[in-house]
Amino acid sequence: MSNQQASDKKFIDIVPLGGLGEIGMNLMVYEFNDKLLIVDCGITFPTAETPGVDQIIPDFRYLLENRERVVGYVITHGHEDHIGAMPQIWPQVPAPIYGTGMSIGLLKGKFREHRLLGKAVFTEMRYRQKFQVGPFNIEPMQVTHSIVDAAALAITTPIGTVIHTGDFNIDHTPINNRPTDLFSLARYGEQGVLALLSDSTNVDKTGRTISEQVVGKELQRLFAKAEKLIITAAFSSNIERTQQVINAAVAVGRQVAPSGRSMLNNLQIAQSLGHLKVPENTLVDIKQFKKIRRDKLVILSTGSQGEPNSSLTRITAGDHKTIRIQKGDMVVFSSKFIPGNERTIWTLINKLFALGADVYHEKNRKGIHVSGHAPQDDLKLMLALTKPNYFIPIHGEMHHLNLHRKLATSMGVPESNSLVMENGDRVRLDSEGVRVIDHVHHGRILLDGKGIEGVDDIALRDRRQISESGLAVVVIAVDKKTGKLKNRPELMTRGIVYEEENQDLLDEALDAVEHSFTLGPKGMDFREEDEAGLPELAVRGLRRFFKRKLGRRPVVIPLVMEI
């Protein structure tokens, strides 16, 4: 294709590879004149349906197939669901990276951990300062969110401007005095916005954003009545919340000890960028815990979602090197119960209550957490300011996206000019309207350990089955010369029954294995069978037996030993 033919294109394509119809794993691709711009590159977290999985990233085959056309990554903010997949995807699809100061700081930490730091080119973008990435002219605009340095993007091409909000809310009185840039959004609205792609996470919440300042006042009230140790759990990336905890601790005469690697790292990054103001002698090393009176200390901990290896989880389990819960201690969850994590969080809370702690969270104490996502009134204001010709809701499950589309219709956007996208859709914007024209490969890659290859469906199925029904290993010994069974098979189980108290049942199971051999076409003559004959018969016999006796079909592993 000639340069002249490419420049004559009068459309822009939008391809989501994650974040549509789900919470998290945000990755959006903008395409113009055969060049690809990637906005955000995030992960989502595993659930009970994905046992053993550490994190989930978008299937990026489409990017691999088109890597020569990728001109850059632009990051709206530093949350894991927007940057967490970069260390896995960027090495295979390298391109320059653009982000605000905090986003770049967090990304550099990740790249350093994965030994990629010297290979990537990072460029810090500044609010209201335009820059060019291939054919895309981009202006970042300041927005408030539950992390500092969040940005909405104005992405301009010759056919018009697309506003990509990222995650946002509209806090008119943020504690850092850096409110959402309504002026710039309105300026683009007056100039003409081709399309608005707006955060839908909190569209089912009425009203407007509650200011972060409310949290600071409520934390101070709680801290003032505490008589022993205070532990506050929050997202380590929520620097404004960290500031509120520090302010409340100082107000009641307590020092603050950060606990958890990500908490320490993010505190250091935020302080170096000037986003965190800490009075002298306020922060103390967690190693000094035993030297400070419990009633003069606040532990600022990771683990608000009950993450297995987090600081709060280890404290609650009694596995922390330094801290133990005592009766009368106060634990404050200054965070949201993220959908999918509720059971884990409640388990942690119940354990804390059992240890004698007083526990406060968003379900039993108003004002200790406010959301970083825009409720309906904020979403309406975004629509009113930008006045888009086309509207596409992003970031949310299908009910969020559809509700947001209805909200846009109530604000005057014609139904024909709005669209609910799904991951893998290729949506075209041009003079003819907004529509899905094609679909690209998409999906999820499940990661565990250090692998990028991912966990395949068969392995995941086996993990689920083992977790639900247990595992049985049957050992079959055969004579190397005659191929006959040497002796009765042996059986080991895990997660099916307690072996010491159910030996009669296990003996019956072995009877079922031996009986299955007699049903084979060659009896028990292994040498005359297909090599897989005895193992297959053993698996079939055991699974049928446990299904009949226990109503379960465990995973059965047969081992044949030639003696």
DSSP-assigned beta bridge partners for residue 477: 561
Tokens of 284: 């103390």
Residue 275 bears catalytic tag: no
- DSSP code per residue over 330-369: EEEE-S---TT-HHHHHHHHHHHHHTT-EEE-TTTSTTS-
CA dist 505 and 482 (Å) reads 31
Whats the size of the chain, residue-wise? 563
3-state secondary structure 435-503: EEEEECCCCEEEECCCCCCCCCHHHHHHHHHHHHHCEEEEEEEECCCCCCECCCCEEEEECCCCHHHCH
Pairing of strands 150-157, 160-164: antiparallel
Tokens for 507, please give them.
Answer: 């003996």
Neighbours of 109 (CB within 10 A): 17
CA 53 – CA 272 distance, rounded (Å): 34
Neighbours of 123 (CB within 10 A): 13
Q: What is the per-residue burial (b if ≥16 Cβ within 10 Å, else e) of 291-304?
A: eeebeebbbbbbbb
Q: Let me know if 248 is exposed, middle or buried by CB neighbors in 10 A (0-12, 13-18, 19+).
A: buried
Spatial distance between the Cα atoms of 152 and 189, rounded to a whole number of angstroms: 14
Both tokens assigned to 298: 């606040």
Report how far residue 188's alpha carbon sits from residue 380's, in angstroms, rounded to the nearest whole number. Answer: 16
Catalytic residue among 13, 199, 378, 425: 199
Catalytic: which of 82, 145, 320, 373? 373
Alpha carbons 538 and 559: distance in angstroms, whole number: 10
User: H or E segment at 559?
Assistant: strand 555-562
Sign of CA dihedral 67, 72, 75, 79: positive
List 490's β-bridge partners, or say none: 475
Check if 199 is active-site: yes
Question: How would DSSP label each residue in 103-146?
Answer: HHHHHHHHHHHTT-GGG--EEE--TT--EEETTEEEEEEEEB-S
Q: How far is CA 274 from CA 26, 101, 199, 262, 267, in A?
A: 28, 10, 28, 18, 10
Q: Distance between CA 33 and CA 9 in Å, rounded?
A: 6
CA distance 444 to 58: 5
Coil, strand or helix at 155:
strand
* Active centre residues (catalytic): 199, 373
